[in-house]
Amino acid sequence: MDRGYIDFKRLFGIAEVQVFFVTRAKDNLRFTRHYSTPNDDSTGIRSDQAGKLTLPKAREDYPNQLHRIRFHDAENKRYFVFLTNNLQLPAEVIAKLYKMRWGVELFFKWIKQNLRIKHFYGNSLNAVKTQIWIAIAVYLIIAILHKDLKLPGSLHKSLQLLSVHPFEKIPIDQLLAKRDFKNDEVSACNQLILNGF
């Protein structure tokens, strides 16, 4: 399969098409409808239209025809308007693709929060994949270690400690074990005690 092409014949029973986008439309979108396709309201699809952008600048930037789908999410009681340059796929598939895209967004949010990847050391697909897989493997190793050693505190705290002390020469279970920093000697006076002076 060529790079940049998806086998939609296998996935959806239609001919192969070039890569396309699915995005949410802005509230101020001006859209000229050329035709509408009948839809079933029970699927959540409220309208399925094809047309072009209305404003001259927008039409100059993107002159091709677009597919606009208005979708009602009954679970969250929200309306969404999706735009895509794929005119072949049914409206229900476009709505599902956007939902799957949102799952990918949540995955990358999780990566940013948990794997602490500040930047990628390479720009190729292989370099990015390799760095993500290494970060996931390290995260899972520490999660397993945290659980097996029955360490106190959260996994996040263990990850923070290991990132601050990567080259400590003490056993990892001692490094991550709960430490009590309370002073044994309680002085009644307000004076500092300096090493027995």
Within a domain: residue 28?
yes
Q: What tokens appear for 3 in the block?
A: 């790079």
Q: Give the separation between CA 126 and CA 130, rounded to whole angstroms.
A: 6
pLDDT digits (tens, 9 = 90+) for 68-109: 999 998 888 899 999 999 888 899 999 888 888 888 888 888
Give me the pLDDT at residue 118, please: 76
Residues 80 and 166 both lie in one domain: no
Burial of 174 from C-beta contacts in 10 A (0-12 / 13-18 / 19+):
exposed
Note whether 130 and 121 are within 8 A (CB): no
11 shares a domain with 86: yes
Q: Residue 121's pLDDT band (boundaries 50, 70, 90)?
A: confident
Same-domain check for residues 84 and 172: no
Domain carrying residue 73 = 5-106
Domain assignment present for 81:
yes
Q: What's the rounded Cα separation, in Å, for the pair 127 and 83?
A: 32
Same domain for 151 and 101: no
| Sequence-distant (≥ 6) Cβ neighbours of residue 127 within 8 angstroms | 120, 121
Asked if residue 141 is part of any domain, the answer here is: yes
Is residue 163, in this structure, part of any structural domain at all? yes
User: What's the number of domains the chain is made of?
Assistant: 2
In a domain, 68, yes or no: yes
Give the single-character DSSP code of 179.
Answer: -
Q: Give the amino acid at 27.
A: D
Reported confidence tier of residue 23, pLDDT bands at 50, 70, 90: confident
Residues 136 and 72 in one domain: no
Do 100 and 129 lie in one domain? The reply is no
Tokens of 153: 């505190």
Based on the fold, state whether residues 59 and 22 are members of the same structural domain.
yes
Higher pLDDT, 153 or 195: 153
Farthest CA pair distance, the chain: 91
Residue 4 has pLDDT above 60, yes or no: no
92, 135: one domain = no
pLDDT digits (tens, 9 = 90+) for 25-77: 888 889 989 988 888 888 888 999 999 999 999 888 889 999 999 999 888 88
Same domain, 39 and 89: yes
Same domain, 85 and 136: no
pLDDT band (50, 70, 90) for residue 3: very low
- Give the model confidence (pLDDT) of 146-175 as tens digits: 888 887 778 877 777 777 777 777 777 677
